[in-house]
């Protein structure tokens, strides 16, 4: 059951806050502006475990990235809802693809990936996580509605990609325009940290390539040059298939076309 406006106003009062309570339209979880300066994010019982992740990452990142992030103001439980109270960021969702946005995101990822992941982040065993995603990959993409001709190519492609043994880094995992803010010609916000993980850096570039640079070669080049390291396109393609939120049919509709996963890797994540 979704929290009502009356519920949200009651939570504001119980937390000793002031100001109008207005729900944001976007997002998979209930999020409310409280006055001009605060945001209250609510987590239903099945997602209670995500609140401490959001809070821990918020604390770890505050003041350490070349973009503002929300400052943690409180965490707890109200009735059946876990909550995170944070400072509010301002700006508009940036228009993408755009080379300047890509470069700024590359700088953010470079800074993000050197910060020690909070202890609360999983998975504890990255190789085991990847193996589990591989076992489920074909069936999950079938459930998404992927055409059989692509489904039958997935095992061979994944078997042919060496994902290496990269040091796990702090991953946002959903770096996309919907989680960024732009104001006065620069990034003014990065938010939504409850899905954060620890893992291989290339995993981050799947969402960045799909939802920020969108197959635009100039924008991808700006992103990776600012990051200071060029990820292997085939590894990023593999992680696009293995990502916890992967939806290949959607990507095939929105991204440049190709006749094989190798071709898609180059067109989506290779700057060509």
How many separate domains does the chain show? 2
Question: Is 94 a member of any domain?
Answer: no
Q: Which residues of 158-175 are buried (b: 16+ CB within 10 A; e: fewer)?
A: beebebeeeebbbbbbbb
Among residues 31, 60, 87, the one where a domain terminates is: 87
- CATH number of the domain that residue 24 is part of: 3.30.200.20
- Name the 3-class secondary structure at 226: helix
- CATH number of the domain that residue 238 is part of: 3.90.1200.10
Among residues 32, 54, 87, the one where a domain terminates is: 87
Question: Is 116 a member of any domain?
Answer: yes
Tell me which residue of 225, 196, 234, 216 sits closest to 113, measured CA to CA: 196
Question: What average pLDDT does the chain have?
Answer: 97
Domain extent, residue 77, equals 5-87
Q: What is the mean pLDDT of residues 208-231?
A: 98
Confidence of residue 259 (pLDDT cuts 50, 70, 90): very high
Helical packing angle, 126-144 and 233-242, nearest 10°? 70
Question: Is 245 a member of any domain?
Answer: yes
Co-location of 82 and 113 in the same domain: no
Give the pLDDT confidence score for residue 272 in this predicted structure: 64
Tell me which residue of 192, 229, 205 sits closest to 39, measured CA to CA: 192
Q: Count of CB atoms within 10 A of residue 116's CB?
A: 9
Co-location of 83 and 129 in the same domain: no
DSSP state at residue 47: G
CA–chain centroid gap for 203, Å, is 10
Co-location of 174 and 260 in the same domain: yes
Q: Collect all residues with Cβ–Cβ distance below 8 Å to 76 and sequence separation of at least 6.
A: 82, 83
Question: Is 92 a member of any domain?
Answer: no
Q: Are strands 21-23 and 31-34 parallel, antiparallel or unpaired?
A: antiparallel
Co-location of 67 and 108 in the same domain: no
Co-location of 10 and 120 in the same domain: no
Start-to-end C-alpha separation, the chain: 47
Query: How far apart (Å, rounded) are the C-alpha atoms in residues 249 and 147?
Result: 8
Among residues 62, 87, 112, the one where a domain terminates is: 87
Co-location of 31 and 64 in the same domain: yes
Query: How far apart (Å, rounded) are the C-alpha atoms in residues 248 and 252?
Result: 6
Co-location of 57 and 154 in the same domain: no
Strand segments (E) across the chain: 21-23, 31-34, 38-43, 72-78, 81-87, 169-171, 180-183, 186-190, 197-199
Q: Are 65 and 111 in contact (CB under 8 A)?
A: yes
| pLDDT tens-place string over residues 17-38 | 999 999 999 888 999 999 999 9
Co-location of 160 and 43 in the same domain: no
Q: Are 92 and 181 in contact (CB under 8 A)?
A: yes
Co-location of 172 and 252 in the same domain: yes
Co-location of 72 and 119 in the same domain: no
Q: What is the mean pLDDT of residues 43-72?
A: 97
Co-location of 69 and 103 in the same domain: no
| pLDDT tens-place string over residues 167-180 | 999 999 999 999 99
């Amino acid at each position: 059951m979704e929290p009502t406006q009356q519920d949200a106003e009651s939570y504001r009062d119980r937390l000793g806050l002031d100001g109008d309570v207005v729900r944001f339209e976007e997002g998979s979880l209930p999020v409310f502006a409280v006055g001009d300066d605060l945001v209250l994010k609510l987590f239903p019982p099945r997602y209670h475990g995500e609140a401490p992740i959001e809070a821990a990452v918020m604390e770890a990142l505050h003041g350490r990235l070349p973009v503002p992030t929300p400052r943690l103001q409180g965490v707890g439980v109200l009735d059946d809802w876990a909550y995170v109270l944070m400072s509010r960021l301002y700006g508009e969702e940036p228009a993408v693809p755009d080379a300047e946005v890509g470069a700024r995101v590359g700088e953010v990822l470079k800074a993000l990936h050197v910060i020690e992941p909070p202890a609360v982040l999983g998975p504890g065993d990255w190789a085991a996580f990847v193996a589990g995603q591989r076992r489920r990959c074909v069936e999950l993409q079938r459930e998404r509605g992927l055409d059989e001709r692509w489904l039958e190519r997935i095992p061979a492609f994944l078997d042919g990609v060496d994902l290496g043994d990269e040091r796990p880094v702090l991953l946002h995992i959903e770096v996309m325009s919907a989680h960024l803010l732009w104001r006065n010609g620069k990034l003014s916000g990065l938010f939504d940290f409850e899905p954060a993980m620890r893992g291989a850096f290339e995993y981050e570039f799947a969402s960045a390539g799909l939802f920020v640079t969108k197959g635009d070669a100039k924008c991808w080049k700006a992103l990776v040059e600012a990051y200071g390291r060029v990820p292997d396109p085939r590894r990023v393609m593999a992680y696009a298939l293995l990502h916890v939120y992967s939806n290949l049919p959607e990507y095939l509709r929105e991204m440049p076309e190709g006749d094989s996963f190798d071709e898609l890797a180059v067109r989506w994540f290779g700057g060509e």
